[in-house]
A = this chain, B = another copy of it.
Amino acid sequence: MTKLIDGKIVAKEILDNLADEVLFLNKKPCLAVIIVGNDSASKIYVNLKKKKALELGFNSIVIELPEKTLEKDLIDKIEELNSDKNVNAILVQMPLPKHINPLKIIETISPQKDVDCFHPYNVGNISIGKKSYVYPCTPKGIIRLLEYYDIKIEGKHAVVIGRSNIVGRPLSQMLINENATVTLCHSKTKNLSEITKTADILISAVGKPNLVTENMVKDGVVIIDVGMNRLENGKLCGDVDFENVKDKASYITPVPGGVGPMTICSLMVNTYDLFKYQNSL
């Protein structure tokens, strides 16, 4: 019997507990979000993050900068937030305008306030298996889902499709730290289905509808679908052919309602963890 992994329930439980903890704080965690330009999708994401932070009783700062903002001025603004004791977590909404180097911006954010966990220093700590005070949001959310449903990771063969720096690469590192055997597949991978068939846990983070089909997975596989694709009919779908794959899977995440809710949940937990870390120094 296939079990559906419900990210809405897990995220709600985590955030309800977090809200309760925040109630008893005399200081409030503060998340600062910078958005440059007028990308409408970015504005929606930023507002969602602000709304969620306020719901939890966090302080939320949103800094909107014009499209033409100079890289230098953005860096100055970030450094101002780095040294602001009232700000615990800093997020610069991506994508940035073409004239700004995103890597340079990511490295400007203090690792101790790097709520997305994009800074090379924080990425490196995860890569060497060192405990970090912050973890990348979506991978962290995926590990939480597996833990919530008592899905053992140690000794399992986890196959990750997609090598982005937001999901695939850091997730592979975190799964290694959880003692899984990990295969990382990507656009240059040959006979993908030969590899996916060997997966105990299959995570797809590509952004391609129906990339993972029934004949590519073994019976009992655990499927985590990070894809979020908008079809012509307006419907959302993941990377996995859900209808045909679900009956072979022991566990599977729906899209929407699977991994999605966990990402913003992890962002809030990260904000709180950074707050606690900074107040423990």
Q: B-contacting residues of A (Cβ < 8 Å)?
A: 103, 119-130, 154-155, 157, 163, 165, 169-170, 172-173, 176, 179-186, 188-190, 194-195, 198
Give 6 nearest A-B pairs by CB, closest first: A124-B124, A120-B124, A123-B124, A183-B183, A179-B188, A181-B189
Are the CB atoms of A169 and B163 closer together than 8 Å? no
Are A119's CB and B127's CB within 8 A?
Answer: no
Interface of A is mostly: mixed
Q: Which residues of B contact A163 (CB under 8 A)?
A: 129, 176
A172–B140 CA distance with the chains assembled, in angstroms: 21
Asked if residues B183 and A182 are in contact (CB atoms below 8 Å), the reply is yes
Q: Given A181-B190, A182-B183, A183-B181, are A103 and B130 neighbors across the interface (CB < 8 Å)?
A: yes
Nearest-neighbour CB distance to chain B for A188, whole angstroms, equals: 4
Residues of B within 8 A of A128 (CB): 120, 123, 165, 169
CB-based contact B124/A127 at 8 Å: yes
| CB neighbours of A185 from chain B (8 A) | 181
What are 16 A-B pairs with beta-carbon distances under 8 A? A120-B120, A120-B122, A120-B125, A120-B130, A121-B124, A124-B127, A155-B189, A163-B176, A169-B176, A176-B184, A179-B186, A180-B188, A181-B188, A181-B189, A183-B183, A195-B198
Contacts of A103 in B (CB 8 A): 130
Q: How far is the CB of A34 from chain B (nearest CB, A)?
A: 20
**Distance (whole angstroms) from the CB of A120 to the closest CB of chain B:** 3
Cβ–Cβ < 8 Å partners of A179 in chain B? 186, 188
